[in-house]
Structure 1
């Protein structure tokens, strides 16, 4: 029971349910199919919800490790994408000058 006091799931259990419902929505499925060419995979959100509820009910180590693993893989996947543009170290030298609107025409 000491683990219950020190560790909490990274999200509230209702957040996993909301994410699962959003993932299964028609608009989200259409968006993912249009953007990526495949429908989104939603099953992991439901598995995480069940693991979260199981941990709240029994504080089982299996549910805790399942949530940790899922969140870790979700974070690793998110960090694997590179930024679209180059990140700046400092602002451009002429950042204070007015924009020249005719320059790009």
Structure 2
């Protein structure tokens, strides 16, 4: 996160879209709330530590709706250690920044 903040320092930020994700384990309702909490945590950090204005950041949770893992690669429905490890990439937060580089 600190690296991201450093990379954003020379940027004139127009908007930041933060999207929280979960793996497929757990109920859809739980995953929706968890993904929203993840996105909100990143938003708070970027506001407090990065000085990005709150009105330029939006945070959305999408639960397990946008996995990056393939069901064929991560088989199973019970939370075994192997499945949890396999699904690790689905538990993420994506940050999209719209803006332009500041002129020197």
Which of structures 1 and 2 has the larger relative contact order (alpha carbons within 8 angstroms, sep 6+)?
2
More helix as a share of residues? 1
Tell me if both proteins adopt one fold, taking TM over 0.5 as the criterion: no
- TM (normalized to structure 1)? 0.26
* Structure showing greater Rg: 1
- TM (normalized to structure 2)? 0.26
